[in-house]
Amino acid sequence: MRGDGSPLRVLLVSYAWPPTGGVGTGRALKLAKYAADHHIRPSVLTVSNPSVPLMDPSLLRDVPAGIDVIRARTLEPGYASKAAVWRDNSTPATRGRGGLRLKSRILSLARQLLVPDPQVLWLPAAAAALARRLRSPDADDVVFITAPPFSSFLAGPLTRLRRGTALVLDYRDEWSTVRSSFEMSGRLAAFAGAVLERRVVRYAHAITVATVAFRAHLLADIPHLDPSRVHVIPNGYDPDDFPPALPDPPSDRFVLTYAGTIYRLTSARGLLAAVRLLHERNPDLARRLHVRFIGRIVETEADAFDGMERYGVERVGFLPKDQVMPELAASHMALVLHAHAAGTERIYPAKAFELMHLGRPVLAITPRGVLWDLVEQHHLGHVFDPDDAPAIAAFLDRSLRDFCGGRYVPDVAAVDTERFHRRALAGEFAAVFRTAADLARANAV
């Protein structure tokens, strides 16, 4: 609430916004949906022509009626063209050939220039739109920028155009993890990204991060940050995403379902190795297992699925969000996957919180870290290391024997999950916004 009793005005700057699909859209969208419950009036600045792999118009149903949505055009090419430029398919053996050597150098130069990410090509229009907003009668009390893409953070210093406007930066993922795992950039670009991060966070009146481990890592990496300004607000679930009547799992086969993108940090290789091992040890029993993957599988992980159809593994492909929950409900267990990679020990997949509300047991395959702890602390299911294929196979064997013998009982009784309701989390964001706004006003005096 502002001093005059009117709602606090907050501009949500998010590249990911409906109809863009994928899990990254949910954080800003659900915040906008429930903001009014906490006396916040949201507006949105987003991209008009998103260069993204997935579109999901079903998400538009959560956009609040009458919300002001400003769309700024990006200079990025279409996603397929951008992905081709960002990907170098040459190998050390072929890189010495003249044409391929030139292509590799051009791709490397493109990756070096697009710092910190390709969406930096949205920054000119987004920054211009933000500057106009800050100078207009509709200027907001708080500018909230959520990332990735982290190039969006570079617009943050513009908030100084209006004295008393607060800047809140939101880390859905870690910038350092994105640099090492996604950007595929060289040392110079990685160094430049690190320098940019350290400088831009100085402008923030508050910072929100998705996990406690994110916060600890950020404070250790950037010592000049004031710990009192860094707040943990996790992702969560929205009961409205679940239809009133969900289907039951089938009785003739045991179904495991994964929903989400499969890429380097969510590699399915450990699980797939366990499925193959199960078929080697007990093929008759293993034939009752059906493993489904709903969502995109990036090219670098596609080879792990070669020939897996014979083991009962199905690649469903992308489905709109309103179709995903019924598919997960029609499963005996839901899969959550993390690979051994730098930073995964600090990451919660957003889908884990929705599984809390769904009530199906979780089979989490992950290194020890925050996801492992989340599953154990909230009694969501079972956890195994991705390198321990024998233990995963043995667990699947026991579950299948119980299922075939009529003894399988879903052993999930999630506890202490109310905090993760998106409405409650919007209240936590609102508290941060008010604190940041008070700080910005005090500094403007």
Domain for residue 102, yes or no? no
Domain for residue 207, yes or no? yes
Each residue's pLDDT tens digit, 256-281: 999 999 999 999 999 999 999 999 99
Residue 366 and residue 337 in contact, taking contact as beta carbons nearer than 8 Å:
yes
Residues 156 and 124 in one domain: yes
pLDDT for residue 437:
97
Six token digits for residue 234: 């996790």
Residue 296 and residue 324 in contact, taking contact as beta carbons nearer than 8 Å:
no
Domain for residue 101, yes or no? no
| String of DSSP letters for 180-234 | HHTS---HHHHHHHHHHHHHHGGG-SEEEESSHHHHHHHHHH-TTS-GGGEEE--
Residues 40 and 186 in one domain: yes
Q: State the DSSP H helix or E strand holding residue 364, giving kind and residue range, or none if neither.
A: strand 362-365
Domain for residue 63, yes or no? yes
Domain for residue 138, yes or no? yes
Domain for residue 272, yes or no? yes
Residues 281 and 175 in one domain: no
Residue 312 and residue 286 in contact, taking contact as beta carbons nearer than 8 Å:
yes
Coil, strand, or helix at residue 406?
coil
Residues 30 and 123 in one domain: yes
Residues 230 and 249 in one domain: no
Residues 220 and 146 in one domain: yes
Count other C-beta atoms under 10 Å from residue 124's C-beta: 14
**Per DSSP, what are the bridge partners of residue 61?**
none
Coil, strand, or helix at residue 369?
coil
Kindly report the CATH number assigned to the domain that includes residue 162. Answer: 3.40.50.2000
Residues 414 and 425 in one domain: no
Burial class (CB in 10 A: 0-12, 13-18, 19+), 308: middle
Residues 415-421: what's their mean pLDDT? 89
Number of domain units in the chain: 2
Each residue's pLDDT tens digit, 292-351: 999 999 999 999 999 999 999 999 999 998 899 999 999 999 999 999 988 889 988 888
pLDDT for residue 167:
98
Strand order in the sheet with 230-232: 68-72, 40-47, 8-13, 142-147, 166-171, 206-209, 230-232
- Asked which of 107-116, 146-155, 346-355 is least confident by mean pLDDT, the reply is 107-116
Residues 222 and 333 in one domain: no
Domain for residue 96, yes or no? no
Residue 214 pLDDT > 70:
yes
Count other C-beta atoms under 10 Å from residue 368's C-beta: 10
Residue 184 pLDDT > 50:
no
Domain for residue 108, yes or no? no
Count other C-beta atoms under 10 Å from residue 80's C-beta: 10
Residues 225 and 288 in one domain: no
Residue 97 pLDDT > 70:
no
- Asked which of 74-83, 186-195, 284-293 is least confident by mean pLDDT, the reply is 186-195
Each residue's pLDDT tens digit, 8-46: 999 999 999 999 998 889 999 999 999 999 999 999 999
**Buried b / exposed e across 92-101, counting CB within 10 Å, b at 16+?**
eeeeeeeebe
For residues 72 and 49, what is the distance between their CA atoms, to the nearest angstrom? 8
Specify the higher pLDDT residue, 425 or 242: 425
Residues 127 and 29 in one domain: yes
Give pTM, 2 decimals.
Answer: 0.88
C-alpha distances out from residue 77 to 102, 129, 160, 228, 338, Å: 21, 20, 31, 40, 31
Residue 204 and residue 13 in contact, taking contact as beta carbons nearer than 8 Å:
no
Closest Cα to residue 154, out of 203, 191, 111, 95? 203
Residues 258 and 220 in one domain: no
Question: Which structural domain, as residue segments, surrounds residue 408?
Answer: 240-418
C-alpha distances out from residue 10 to 33, 41, 54, 340, Å: 13, 6, 27, 38
Residue 162 pLDDT > 90:
yes
Residues 227 and 329 in one domain: no
